[in-house]
Amino acid sequence: MKIISTPAEIASWSVEHHAAGETISLVPTMGFFHEGHLQLMRQARALADLSVVSLFVNPIQFGPGEDLDRYPRDFPRDASLAEQEGVEVLFAPEAGTMYPAPALTRIQVSQLTEYLCGADRPGHFDGVCTVVAKLFNLIKPEYAVFGRKDYQQLAVIRRMVSDLNWDVLVVDHPIVRETDGLAMSSRNKYLSISERQTALCLSRAIRLARRMVREGLRDCAEMLSGLKKMIATDDSARIEYLMVVDKGSLIPQSIITPDSLLALAVRVGSTRLIDNTVLFDDEE
């Protein structure tokens, strides 16, 4: 596996291999890999001749008071895991090489960012879109693989790709969960033993919501009321948002339909966790 740390070198590598007729897949990450990341890498390797994993804790997607400085990092471990998965290139730039001067340009996707994490974290998706745009411009992948746990991010990036006519196919991968249902996340490392148990309220809420739908419930307000009561039984869990939205527009719904997405963010102690499910999706 080749480790590349500068934008100029990754761009040159991409030009060389595209000239040889090879296709490239990209998995953008912030590192501290878990099984969810590894499954994205496997999917990326199956899609193209060559796979690139980017490892970059992107400072411009973090807001004031968020966890940029304490976001978990372990580069030697991450590099070893990526190599074991057969990844051809690990692109791991420093912030100073990705943003050598104050960034005066931001890419903003409107409407899709009005609710959910977009409302709770102003400017977050501007930072995400900007760094992903830079990665697409440098690497020019034919495929880019993202996990469904960050569903809003996936929707926003797909819209950006469509609006800006990028020739890249955005491929999604199902949420990867621990055996007890907790969605895998690098931020799970922050949780204490007791907080780890509290965090199961997210996946329990999803299972309860899906059961409600199977039993015929279609009123969103009634569903959300029941879920809030269930989560509120633990004082250490604080709901940041809990919404049923259309999975395409991400606009809140009042009636549950086959296009309904349940999305929630819950703060457990100081750790913010997210999860989601398409309520009529048979995969989950």
**Separation between Cα atoms, residue 274 and residue 185, nearest integer Å:** 9
Of 17, 18, 34, 37, which is the active-site residue? 37
Q: Which value, to the nearest 10 degrees, does the dihedral of the CA atoms of residues 229, 233, 234, 238 take?
A: 20
For the question of residue 173 being annotated catalytic, the response is no
Residue partners of 190: CB distance under 8 A and separation at least 6: 67, 72, 269, 270, 271
Alpha-carbon span 94 to 200, nearest angstrom: 35
Amino acid at 163: D
Q: How far is CA 195 from CA 153, 185, 186, 275, in A?
A: 26, 14, 15, 16
Sheet holding 237-246, edge to edge: 237-246, 260-268, 271-278
Residues designated catalytic: 37
